[in-house]
Amino acid sequence: MHTAPIHTPDADSERARWAASADAWDRWADPMADLADKLNRPLLDAAGVAAGDRVLDLASGAGEPALSAARRTGPRGLVVGSDLVPGMLAGAVRRATAEGAQAPVFTAADMTALPFADGAFDRVTCRFGIMFVPDVAGALAAVRRALRPGGKAAFMVWGPLSGNALFAEIAAAVAGHLGEDGSLDPLFRFAEPGLLANAMIGAGFARADEADLTPVRKAPADQPFWRAALEMSFGHRLGGLAPDRRAALEADIAARFATQATGGVVPVPAHVRIVTGTAAA
């Protein structure tokens, strides 16, 4: 038996959070591309994205995994990337120009009211987005409607905070310097096994499965490998922060990871979960 989700996000707060973080996501999109690909590939594999598929990517942000999906579907396929906050898509549109005719199409869309015809897509993907939607049941029902019979949706969510050292250390430092505001709570909304899978069955999916990934990144201790996560997750709290307070915060984060280094390398474990749902044929 599963407990209720730990946190239901507020729609206005989440819209404001991502609007404030859009520039950071655009700025880090290219430097983080190789690391992001390590998560994109298993998500696209789980969804079964293949040449010629029609794919909808939700909460695309700066463009992934929509851009990667478009390379898989090829010229006979179609990839549509969407995000609730139009500003978040600026980086996606910028990056798509390098893809030429194979680029995805990007559009702003509310996950609970998708502006697409019934059965329009073969696959739906969503990387770290569903947890921020207040009405998860509505979003999953909309995804189910947009899938063709037999189509498949794949969502990637975070496992527990205790298994995600990058977030755990940064969150502790931010709370110590800026106070606790619960802004990380939505990230781990589906950390408990079965929560999202059960919600998918409740939304009408014929089958739901989940698999956990627990990679350990080996980060160079002498580099601020944590800065992207700080700015992308806490950008809404960093704006207007005095330079000395920002410097003190960053020094604290660096010190926390320095204590974990061995031979100049910091092990950074992560825990993510891929939850797939298959529409009835």
∠ CA 64-70-72, nearest 5°, is 110
Q: Identify residue 189 by its one-letter amino acid code.
A: R
User: How many CA atoms are closer than 13 Å to the CA of 138, on its beta-carbon side?
Assistant: 9
The pLDDT assigned to 31 comes to 86
Residue closest to 65 by CA, chosen among 40, 90, 94: 40
Name every residue whose Cβ is closer than 8 Å to that of residue 242 and which is 6 or more positions away in sequence.
Answer: none
In a domain, 239, yes or no: no
Residue closest to 82 by CA, chosen among 130, 10, 131: 130
In a domain, 232, yes or no: no
Name the packing angle between helices 33-47 and 66-73 (round to 10°). Answer: 60
Q: Looking at residue 262, what DSSP letter applies? A: B
Give 9's strand partners: none
In a domain, 227, yes or no: no
Q: Which residues of the chain are under the pLDDT cut of 70?
A: 1-7, 101
In a domain, 230, yes or no: no
In a domain, 53, yes or no: yes
In a domain, 262, yes or no: no
Strand pairing class (121-127; 105-108): unpaired
The pLDDT assigned to 50 comes to 98
Q: Do 191 and 161 touch, CB atoms closer than 8 A?
A: yes
Counts of helices then strands in the chain (DSSP H, E): 9, 9
Q: How far apart are CA 116 and CA 264, in angstroms?
A: 50
260-279 residue pLDDT tens: 999 999 999 999 999 999 99
The pLDDT assigned to 4 comes to 42
Whole-model pTM?
0.93
**Domain CATH for 25:** 3.40.50.150
The pLDDT assigned to 7 comes to 67
Place of tokens 């502790």: 172
**Alpha helices of the chain — where are they, by DSSP H?**
11-29, 33-47, 66-73, 90-96, 136-146, 165-178, 195-202, 227-238, 243-258
Residue 158, domain extent: 11-162+183-216+271-278
The pLDDT assigned to 126 comes to 98
How many domains, the chain? 1
The pLDDT assigned to 2 comes to 40
98-130 residue pLDDT tens: 887 689 999 999 999 999 999 999 999 999 999
The pLDDT assigned to 190 comes to 97
In a domain, 169, yes or no: no
In a domain, 136, yes or no: yes
